[in-house]
Each structure stands twice: as C-alpha cells, then as structure tokens.
Amino acid sequence: MHSRNRDRVVLAAVVFAVLFSQLLLYPGVATLVETLGADAATSPFAATPLDASMWFLVAEFTGYVAFVGLWGAASDITGRRTPFIVAGALAGAVSYAALAAVPAVGSVPFEGVLLLRFVQGAMTIGAFSLTMTMLMDLEGGHGRNMGAAGIAIGLGAALGAPIGGRLTEFDPLAPLLGAAGLLVVVGLLVIRVTDRSPGGGRTARAVLEGVRRQPALSIPYVFGFVDRLTAGFFALVGTLYFQDAFGVGPAATGLLLACFFAPFALLQYPMGMLSDRIGRTLPIVVGSLCYGVGILAVGAAPSVATAAIAMVAVGVLGALVSPATMALVTDVAAESERGVAMAGFNVAGSLGFLSGFLVGGAVASEYGYDPAFLVVGGLEIAIALIAVPAFLRLSMGRHDGFASEDRGRL
C-alpha cells in the first residue's frame, strides 16, 4: 500500500476512535449524569434529567470552542501536528478516567463534574481537529480525504451509540472507561503517521491574518454550523424523544441513532469522491435543503419503524453534504493555514452542537418535542436558503464548483 493511502487509513482510524469514544456516552447520558451526582437539590444545573444531560454535553463543547483555535494556531505556528495530537489524546484519556472516578471519590459536586467535562472537551478537540488537518495535508483529492474523515466520523457515531447503550446497561461508568482506553490507543496510533505539515516559522498574527483574508471560508463554516446543530439536537433531544415517545430503552435508542449514522458513515467516502467529480455546490446546496425536510419527517413519524426509515433518509442526505463541506475548507484555505482553518470549521461545528443542545433542549423543555423538531428542521432549511445566494455568487465563473484538486484560493 502506498504510504499516502496507508496514512489515510490510519488517520481515519484515529478520527473513528475519537468519535466512537464520544458517542459511547450519549445513549445513556441521563443515567450517567445521575451516577455522577446530578441532583436537583444541590445543583441548579440539574433541575431535571434533561437539564443535567444538556449541561453535561454543553460543558464538553464549550471546551471544544474555547481551545480548538489554540490547538490549530499552535500547530500552524510550529509546523507540527503529531505532538499536539498525542498530547490532546492522552490528556483527554486522563480526563475521562477522572470522570469515571467521581463516584468513588464521592464528594465532587455536579459543578465539579461539569468542569472535568470541560477539560476533557478542551483536550479531546486537539486530537480530533489536528487529525482532520493531517488529512487535509494529504494529496489524492480533497473530497476523497474528507470522505475518509467523514466515514470515520459516521462509523464512530454509528457504532458508538449502540455499543454505548449496551455498556450503559452493564455499568453507567463503562462508557467513560472505554473512552479513556480508546484515547490512549489514539495517542499511540498517530505516531505511525508521517507529519506532512507544510512547516512553521510564522507568527500567530500572520496565521490568523491569512485566514481572515479568506472570507469564502464563511461558507463551509455556516453549513458546518447548521449541520452540527441538527446533530447536537439528535444527540440530546432526539435521544430523549425516542425514549419518551416510543418507550424504548438506551439500547434501542442507540439502534435508532445508528439508523442515521450507518448510511451517513458508509456513504461518506463515495460521496466525497463524487464531490471531487461534480463539484461542491450541488451536494451542499441541494443536500442541505433536503436534510432539513428529513428532520421534520423524523419528528412527524408515528411509529418506531417510520422514525427509523426517516432517520435512514436523513443519514443519506447528511452523507451527501458532510464531505463536500469539509473538502471546501481545504479548497479555500492556504496550506500553511490549514490548522487554523480546520479549527475554525470545528469552532463553527461545536457552536452548532451547542446550539442544538441549548435551542433544542430549551424548546423541548418549555414547549414539547414537536415544536423542537419544527424549530431545528426549519433552521436547517432557513440557513441553507440564506447561504445559497452567497455560495452561488462565489462559484460563478468556476466551472468546477470548488472541486479542483489542491485549489489554494478562490
């Protein structure tokens, strides 16, 4: 196997491990936060199981947003990726293990649990974002490389959700211990990959100014934001909705989530290759609009079977959009600014996840699940429609629609 192809496989495996470890916690999050000491009598963040679950997820993504830019800037400035990925993975493993130890300690308030969760998110995002950046550094087709990342993300989520549900039924702390072990493996695995960073020697100001001079990056950032918003919504509200509306447990909930993540994962690589051929415009624009309609269909599904079918359709549409959106970041960003550019994309995505938790959780808590699905599905459609004119203006005069290999700038 060519070294480039081998490294693509290894980096995709690293992305898979990070996302798999993250999704292990989601199907049983309500049980987990109760085990970690969420109590309405002692913490305002745990007024209800939904509130405690929401803040537990929000804490992680707040760490993502706060630190992902620092990881990206440090990598671009030094011209190194691997040492930062190893450091982030191992520190994330320690954080997961510390969370698992909370019940044994017995005196940690829920606010302390949220702080540990914040640190875990701040460390883990370094490993995730910079591994994505190493995939950006590879030759062989931006859509292909981001398709490899996408299939790893999708498979990690598709397998992490049902396995996490099973582990939760065995022991609520088992997903935390599994996540810690996987991140140790990540730290060891990434050492085998050639670091193809274009080199450092630039100041932080020069790197940030270079990214600032690329306003076209706002396009994949906007689409990344709204797509991750819907993912955050399903991770929290969707999980609780399936359990409340259909009376299913954590294991069955994980299988319903897998109905989305399985096609989302399996179709990422071919859809990424497709975007290399036909361009980014059609997959992103058409896919995003249909994706919003699919979300509304999930909320309107009258049974578990129809909800599962709707989740499969949403997964297919997500696979159409995701690799093309990530590849567009690579198309636009300069080689020496990819760390910060991908960090910006992950900031947008993390803010999207946070918005999905907060907006979806708040609307569901106050008004019920049906309005929550309507709001989130409507936001996907509305933001896609608003962004379409800017996207089309930037693509006019470019016959390839942003699909050319190694295209540095617009």
d(CA 172, CA 162): 14
What average pLDDT does range 116-120 have in this prediction?
A: 96
Please tell me the distance from the alpha carbon of residue 153 to that of residue 159, in angstroms, as a whole number.
10
Most confident of 107-111, 116-120, 152-156: 116-120
What CATH class does 3-395 carry? mainly alpha
pLDDT band, very low/low/confident/very high, at 399 (cuts 50, 70, 90): very low
- DSSP per-residue letters across 326-387: HHHHHHHS-GGGHHHHHHHHHHHHHHHHHHHHHHHHHHHHHH-HHHHHHHHHHHHHHHHHHH
Number of alpha helices (DSSP H) and beta strands (DSSP E) in the chain: 17, 0
pLDDT (average), residues 173-181: 94
Dump pLDDT digits (tens) for 312-341: 998 888 888 888 888 888 777 777 677 778
Residue-range domain boundaries for the chain: 3-395
- Indicate if the pLDDT at residue 390 is higher than 80: no
The pLDDT of residue 142 is above 50? yes
Average pLDDT over residues 217-235: 81
pLDDT at 395: 59
pTM of the model: 0.74
CB 323 within 8 A of CB 402: no
pLDDT at 207: 56
Lowest mean pLDDT among 157-171, 203-217, 267-281, 347-361: 203-217
Share the mean pLDDT of the chain: 82
d(CA 239, CA 248): 10
Q: CB-based burial of residue 31 (10 Å sphere; 0-12 exposed, 13-18 middle, 19+ buried)? A: middle
Top pLDDT among 96 and 161 is at 96
Q: What is the pLDDT of residues 37-88, one digit of tens each?
A: 888 778 888 888 878 888 898 899 889 888 888 888 888 888 888 999 999 9
Give mean pLDDT, residues 17-30: 87
Q: What is the CA radius of gyration of the chain?
A: 20
What are the pLDDT digits (tens) for 179-218?
999 999 989 888 888 887 776 555 556 555 655 666 777 7
CA atoms of 180 and 300, how far apart (whole Å):
38
